[in-house]
Amino acid sequence: MLSTFIKILNYLHPRRKVQFIGLGILILISSVSEIVSIGAIVPFLGVVTNPESAVEYFNKISFVRGLFQTLAPSDLVLFFTIAFGAAALISGVIRLVLLYATIRLSNSTGAELSVDLYKKTLYQPYKVHISRNTSEIISGITQKVASASGVLISLVTVASSFFIFLSIIVSLVYIDPILTIMSGIVFSGFYLVIAKVTRSKVSLNGQIIAKEQTGIVRSLQEGLGGIRDIILDNSHELYCHIYRTSLFRLTKSNSENTFLNQSPRFALEAIGLVLISFLAYWATLENGSLQSAIPALGALGMGAQRLLPLLQQWYGNWSNYVSLKPALSEVFLLLDQKIPEEYISTIPLEPLRFEKEIKIVDLGFSYPGTNKKVLNSVNLSIPVGARIGIIGETGSGKSTLMDLLMGLVEPTSGKIFIDNNELNSINYLQWRKTIAHVPQSIFLADTTIAENIAFGESQEKINFAQLEKAIEVSQLTTFIKSLPNGINTSVGERGVRLSGGQRQRIGIARAIYKNAKVIFFDEATSALDGETEQSVIASIESLDRNLTVVMIAHRLSTLKNCDRIFEFVGGKIT
């Protein structure tokens, strides 16, 4: 558990680490307050049960001799009542502060880890993203990262419980070592047996919980994402069943772990009462009368009242740690992701200079883990201002070529030159400032037309003069003027309120707004009807002739106005 705590700390910012040091100091203060409050019970009960004997006892102690001589027995009782009450209140306040600090810091840390995890995930290379299941990532960021804060709460609580437990035991051993040892063996032994018996079940349930958290997110994504097909195929019940199965498995495992976490407390309370009654009987026999045993029994009773919740807290948080460990392992894998070096620099990058041509030399590409060449010895030159068309069947390698030209993946062999600069990981970011991409399916956020065109910029940073130019060039002016809210009209989730042609025009407007010098159209019109396609192609044709355009299509008619057309067959240009 300690190694896990240290590992989580290594992911935290320095400020959080300082706060955890402060929390440790607060734990020590709370431990001292517990010693004082437990220790105060003995003189308090001694004075309450026999104030005259108490005065005689205090007069024998050199540093308090004479201090209580002038007090009447009733005043002495009042003094110790106030002192004991004050000690108990101070101890309670300190524990409340410790509880608040623990919960606040642990949850803040969990949120911080979630943000870091999301950031590291977003900054991963494109090839990493296409190899992943988004359900696992979303589940990790939104649900499983909570395991980190959960484990932190558990570990910090265990640490604070340990020190407070130790301080109470020290106080009780000083008061009556035999009673304390007997009680400690019974209570601690009970929890150790329970922990050993339940460990495997709690761990197994933790694995199920981690798995089904991903399953729930996946079922929601697939069900809501494919709602059109679900309605057409009347397959609602199938997706309800998938979701229900995952959810019930998750809740069943959660319920079992919660029961195993909390149930020992009730059994131990009954055992504790029986034990205290036997200890009272035993103490009476040892001391000759119950009155003389009351201070020790009172201290033991108060100690037990504090110790039993601590033991339950200890066991409960250990159980919680075992349950969350499988999910935490997945979170660690995501937190161990490294942000590529090119994103770390804070120096603003200028767009890569492009004045002559894009030159492709003996370009080859194979996906990791396969020997099949998607592209094989491709040679191509794209002059500035050219309109280049690329045609080919599905799987011929044309989309892979576009990914390589945009710097999303690296070639297996060969090189790409922008003017005389080799395109590589060093200048990918600069090159992406020079280019724009209009895919077949335009990603549209559930926000306004303006924010979707100025994609990646906040509302207050939008250049409205550039926005108007982009709208005009993409031939969206008439459509936007017909809307009551104009550019502030919401497009809906994934642009559901727009037609296919309107979505593609927003994609073109986005490229124009970016001031790109090269625009890549990847099957941008293949999903449109003939009339809409011709209208969008007309928009593309009206673009500035200084813009370089590379278009991929299945149909030759889509590329009829290109300067040159290249056909791909089996990863080669024919």
Q: What is the CATH number of the domain that holds 191?
A: 1.20.1560.10
489 with 569, same domain: the answer is yes
Residue range 97-149, pLDDT digits in tens: 888 888 888 778 888 888 888 888 888 888 888 887 788 788 877 777 777 77
351 within domain boundaries: no
| 377 backbone dihedrals φ, ψ, rounded to 5° | 50, 55
378 within domain boundaries: yes
For residue 400, count other CB atoms closer than 10 A to its CB.
22
Q: Which range among 71-75, 296-300, 304-308, 408-412 shows the weakest confidence by mean pLDDT?
A: 296-300
347 within domain boundaries: no
49 within domain boundaries: yes
What percent of the chain lies above the pLDDT cut of 70?
Answer: 82
pTM of the model: 0.72
What percent of the chain lies above the pLDDT cut of 90?
Answer: 5
344 within domain boundaries: no
Secondary structure of the chain: what % helix, strand, coil (to 5)? 65, 10, 25
432 with 535, same domain: the answer is yes
19 with 138, same domain: the answer is yes
72 with 22, same domain: the answer is yes
With a cut of 60, say whether residue 295 has pLDDT above it: no
Instruction: Assess contact for 498 and 446: CB atoms under 8 A.
Output: no
330 with 369, same domain: the answer is no
Residue range 33-68, pLDDT digits in tens: 877 776 676 667 666 666 666 555 555 554 455 555
215 with 308, same domain: the answer is yes
**Number of domains comprising the chain:** 2
pLDDT value, residue 489: 87
Cα 438 from chain centre = 31
118 with 47, same domain: the answer is yes
With a cut of 80, say whether residue 266 has pLDDT above it: no
33 within domain boundaries: yes
Domain with 397, as residue range(s), is: 357-573
What average pLDDT does this structure show over 237-265? Answer: 84
pLDDT value, residue 290: 53
Containing 521, the helix (H) or strand (E) segment is strand 518-522
430 with 334, same domain: the answer is no
CATH number at residue 407: 3.40.50.300
369 with 476, same domain: the answer is yes
496 within domain boundaries: yes
Residue range 76-98, pLDDT digits in tens: 777 778 877 888 888 888 888 88
Instruction: Assess contact for 339 and 116: CB atoms under 8 A.
Output: no
Average per-residue pLDDT for the chain: 79
Instruction: Assess contact for 44 and 58: CB atoms under 8 A.
Output: no
pLDDT value, residue 528: 65
Nearest 5°: CA angle at 334, between 332 and 335? Answer: 60
CA atoms within 13 A on the CB side of 345: 10
| 3-class SS of residue 158 | helix
Q: Of 339, 372, 403, which residue sits at a domain end? A: 339
542 within domain boundaries: yes
pLDDT value, residue 418: 92
Q: Of 288, 305, 339, which residue sits at a domain end? A: 339
Confidence of residue 273 (pLDDT cuts 50, 70, 90): low
Q: Of 284, 308, 339, which residue sits at a domain end? A: 339
287 with 386, same domain: the answer is no
With a cut of 60, say whether residue 293 has pLDDT above it: no
329 with 367, same domain: the answer is no
CA dist 279 and 550 (Å) reads 89
pLDDT value, residue 63: 47
177 with 272, same domain: the answer is yes
Distances (CA, A) of 406 to 76, 403, 430, 531: 86, 5, 11, 30
pLDDT value, residue 398: 86
Q: Which range among 165-179, 195-209, 336-350, 369-383 shows the weakest confidence by mean pLDDT?
A: 165-179
Containing 201, the helix (H) or strand (E) segment is helix 177-225
